[in-house]
Each structure stands twice: as C-alpha cells, then as structure tokens.
Amino acid sequence: MTIQDLYLKLEEAYDEMVSIRRYLHQHPELSFQEVQTAKYIGDYYRKIGVEVKENVGGNGVVARIKGGLPGKTVALRADFDALPIHEETNVPYQSKVPGVMHACGHDGHTATLLVLARILNEMKDELPGEYVMIHQHAEEYAPGGAISMIKDGCLEGVDVIFGTHLWSPLEYGTVSYRKGPIMAAADRFEITIQGYGGHGAQPHKTKDAIVIGSQLVMNLQQIVSRRVDPIHSAVVTVASFVAENAFNVIADSAKLSGTVRTFNEDVRDFIEEEIERIVKGTCLAAGCEFSYEYHRGYPAVVNHESETDFLVTCAEKVTDITEVALASPEMGGEDFAYYLQHVKGTFFFTGAKPENVETPYPHHHPKFNINEKSMLIAAKTLGTAAIEYHTVPAMEGIAKI
C-alpha cells in the first residue's frame, strides 16, 4: 500500500464526499443540539464496520480504526455544528431548517473525515498503528465540545492530533500552516452602566448612561493602541451598545458587550484587568454604578513546531496542492486549542475559495459557501499525515522551516 493508493481511493470517493456534505448542509443543527447529526455519523461507522463510541462528552462521536501493523496512535478531528444564520445561497442543497445554516464549513469537515475513515478502514490490514476519528460537537459556542470530549477520554492513548479548517478566503489548491499561535484566544465581556435617568430637557438632573457609555467605548479603545506592546497582537471590540428610550428620555442604564482577542496569555490577563480598571474609573468619575463580567472563551491555538514541520512535508507530497504557504495569525477562535494543550499536533487551513469568485463571502455569512474540491485536498493531506507519522525516520529527518 502506498500513499498514491490512498489518493486514488479518495478521488474515486469524491462523489460520496460531496453527497454527505450536501446532506448535512440541508440538515444543520446548532451547537449542543446536534442529536441527528451525531446519529448520522454513528450510523455511518456502524455501516462500514468500525468501532464507534457515541455521546462522548455530550454529542461527540469517536471512532477507532486499528491497523494491522504496530505503530503510533494518530487522531484526526472534524467539527459538525452549525450556526444560527438563515441561509441565502439559493443552492439546490440549501438548509431545510429556517434560521440555521452550515456557514463555516463544518459539513465539509465531517464529510472529509467520514470518507477518509472509510478508506483507512478498507486499508487497515496494511496500515501501522491506530487512527482515532474525533467528530466534535459545539465548536461554535463556548465552552465548546472539545473540553468535555477530552474529559470523556477522546484523547486516550493518542500520540498526535491533526486538524484542518476549510478556509474560503484562501485560494483553492493552497494549504497554509504556522508554527506557534495560529488562531487567537476568544473572550467576551459584558458591562452594565447604572446611571440616573430623567427628562431629556433636564440633563443636569441626570447621570446620562449613554454619554458615560460613549466615554467608556472610547476609553477602551486605548487599551490596545496605548497600553499593549505593539509587538503583541490584540483586539478589543465593543460589539453591542443597548440603551433604548423614548426620544425625550435620558437613559437610566446602558449595556455594552464585546470581545477580546489575544495570542499571549500575559496580554490576555492584562486586558481583562485593564477593562475593569477603565470601567471603574469612568463610572467613578461620572458618579454612577456598574457591573462587569469577563468570560474566558477558547485559548489560542498554538501549533507544535515539529508536528507543523512534519505536516508541511506531507502537504508538499499531495497531488492538487499548488502552494504550501505560511499562514498569517487569525484573530478567529477555535477550540482545537484544547487538544493541543494535551497532545502534540498542528492545525492548518485548506484553501476553499469557490470557483469563479473574486471576493468570497466570509465565514458566518448567510451566503457563505466553499469549493467542494477542497475536501479532497483536506482528506489527502490528513490521510498522508496520519499514515506517515508512524515512520520514525521520516519524523527525525524533517528540515526546520
């Protein structure tokens, strides 16, 4: 058995991959509600005769394929939850669930891993080691599904883990990688300002929550621009400012919420403290009360150096890949980060820009779509990494990039 045999089998199974992806696209389920999707995945593995465990950490599904030869245990991960977005693509396989859509490519991730697993199972007698297929629920909504699946043993005995994201802004045929941080920690905060409302014609008798909130928004913008070392990337975004009143009423209260994105844990701690300090100072100066809550989401995705180098050598062998490129750090979050805190591994992007499209719709957009051929590239890359990781001399011979 050669890697070329794997590629040939994957190419022959491409139509199946597309069919699975489109079925899942038509039947999306929100985070922590993916009961039917999990059943579909479990049924698929039972049909092809693969050991499968369901309800792992919630709606997670884990399948294990044992090769006929000794070797390491390699995990591959795909997520399968959808988003609360009403689809506007008008494709024939558009979502049948109003207000719910696979707007991030998770349907493609699942189809990729299922078909790859089937083929690895067919070749298992000639393969070394063991392959763990982690189908994760609830990637889109913190605390996410990774934490609970890890606690429930999905990484038991695993030596290494690989994962990819079909990435619509990236040209088809490109695989991009990065050693160290590749995706940011994703946190959120909520602030309530309690002022003192009153008549719009008598501002001197009030503590205007809108004015105080506006000052606070501007003050928060100085955290990154004036308090964080410019060498360290960070984002503080106030995404919601709510203070509804009649046109002639000064707001009694205002609620602000937003997100913080960082790569460095020290910067993450600093920003959490700075927001509280600024909220206190701004409200103290205005003589009003406040409440502040900071919710930590996923940590940064930090790829391991040797495993990333290894992944690059694998991608360079894959047919259909025209470029293996260094990725810029992304401020988006991903709970694949938790797996990398427990075992070695790497997470990479597979170019999925739709054909004949100059500017693709971004992830989480109602018109989002992918180039389905990117699933084949993802399957080949993950399959190559999974099989060749067992070859210790190949691991030792990786050149540093």
For residue 253, give the DSSP letter. E
Strand pairing category for 60-66 and 289-298: unpaired
Q: Which of 139, 140, 274, 307 is catalytic?
A: 139
Please write down the long-range contacts of 321-326, taking CB distance under 8 Å and 24 or more positions apart.
321/173, 321/174, 321/175, 321/377, 321/380, 321/381, 322/173, 322/174, 323/171, 323/173, 323/174, 323/175, 324/174, 324/175, 324/176, 324/177, 325/174, 325/175, 325/176, 325/177, 326/176, 326/177, 326/178
Both tokens of 354, joined, read 């739709």
Residues 309 and 372: beta-carbon distance below 8 Å: no
Looking at the chain, the number of H-run helices and the number of E-run strands are 11, 16
Active site residue 81: yes
**Beta-sheet strands, E only, within 2-152:** 51-56, 60-66, 69-79, 128-136
Secondary structure of residue 352 in the 3-state scheme? coil
DSSP one-letter string for 118-154: HHHHHTGGG-EEEEEEEEE---SSTT-SHHHHHHTTT
Q: Which of 81, 140, 252, 335 is catalytic?
A: 81
Whole-number Å distance between alpha carbons of 146 and 41: 17
The set of catalytic residues is: 81, 139
